[in-house]
Amino acid sequence: MPKVLLGMSGGVDSSVSAILLKNQGYEVIGCTMKLWDAEESTCCGEQSILDAKRICDKLEIPHYTINCKEEFKCKVVDNFIEEYAQAKTPNPCVECNQYLKFGAFYRKAKELECEYIATGHYAKTEYSEKYGQNVLKKSEEEKKDQTYFLYTIPQNLIEHILFPLQNYASKSDTRNFAKEHGLAVAEKRDSQEICFIPNNSYKDFLEKYMTEKPKKGEIILKDGTVLGKHNGLINYTIGQRKGLGIAYAEPLYVLKLDSKENKVIVGTEKDLYETTLYAKNIHWIVPFEKIDKDNIFAKIRYRAKEAKTSIEQKENEILKVNFEEPQRAITPGQSVVFYDEDGIVLGGGKII
């Protein structure tokens, strides 16, 4: 019986995954990672650990809690703070998946002599004849597909990953399954917040932990015309319209955050649209040489739709991405993730 270490958050997705894996004949071990102080956590606090343990007790499977707080702070939280200090908008889930859920967690699996690791992500893995390797692929549940956050998974790890929910077509199906099996977490609310930020107030969090506190500066048009003052760059995001506190003949949106000059650059909505972006820290799941570089699709944020694009490698490991149609509010710090026409994840990188 193959052994699998299942990441359990105490939520419905990972709990249903435990039952599915048991039904498929795996020897399941539940594991919850302690990532942040309980009083400041929305998904890995004491209640979540308790919920996970209760599910494991009900299913008669062992449960471990591993302390990953130091690595989480170093790789995820400190990176989050540093990115905002540089006027970027990071996505901590990408870092957490890379270094914790498919890094430290996999090391724990090997320690326990598990052949596989599993999570409750909505994603697929399969062997691709087209590329001659194991690949990551979009989930059947289009609205919940989470492959955008998973592009940093090492290719050689994919054959050791199980996504039990990969064929579920809707979240309601998952909840119904949980109800049918008497799981107390069947109606537990999904966490929509950043797990280490209490009350989803990232501005308060940043002001508390940033070494250099946010400073006021100018809000200007692209031509340099000063329109007003801002309250610190962390209070603004690309594409933002409301809360600028300035008057103009037509609606204005945040186009750019200039950390060197401490300025917010604004313009009209048409100024938000661009056909080109550049990315760094590129990670390919499918080798670059196997990719049809003129026929791929890119996603510039989790909720965005994939857009037809072409790519070209530039100097210093920078990737240039050219879109067929202009994209709205391309945001430095976010990830750009590439797919082929079949929904296979090719790779991705950080927008600069």
* Residues 309-322: tens digit of each pLDDT: 999 999 999 999 99
Phi (first) and psi of residue 25, to 5 degrees: 95, 15
* 14 CB-contact burial (10 Å; exposed 0-12 / middle 13-18 / buried 19+): buried
- CA–CA–CA angle 255, 261, 265 (5° rounding): 15
Domains of the chain with bracketed CATH: 3-120+164-199 (3.40.50.620), 214-267 (2.30.30.280)
Give the residue among 350, 344, 351, 352 at the shortest CA–CA distance from 287. Answer: 344
Q: What percent of the chain has pLDDT over 70?
A: 97
Residues of the chain with pLDDT under 50: none
- The pLDDT value recorded for residue 47 is 83
Question: What residues are paired with 137 via a beta bridge?
Answer: 124, 344
Q: What is the DSSP letter of 53?
A: H
pLDDT number for residue 41? 54
User: According to the model, what pLDDT value does residue 8 have?
Assistant: 95
CA pseudo-torsion sign 287, 289, 292, 296? positive
Can you give the pLDDT at residue 44?
63
Predicted local distance difference test score (pLDDT) of residue 168:
87
Neighbours of 299 (CB within 10 A): 24
Please list the active-site residues.
96, 195
C-alpha 337/C-alpha 150 separation (Å) is 9
Neighbours of 225 (CB within 10 A): 11
Place of tokens 């790789």: 75
Q: pTM of the predicted model, to two decimals?
A: 0.94
38-96 tens-digit pLDDT: 555 556 678 889 999 999 999 999 999 999 999 999 999 999 999 999 999 999 999 99
pLDDT of residue 184: 86
How far apart, in Å, are the Cα atoms of 349 and each of 8, 151, 318, 337? 27, 8, 9, 7
What does the pLDDT read at residue 289?
A: 96
Nearest to 352 by CA among 111, 87, 166: 87
For residue 125, the number of C-alpha atoms closer than 13 Å in the C-beta half-sphere is 22
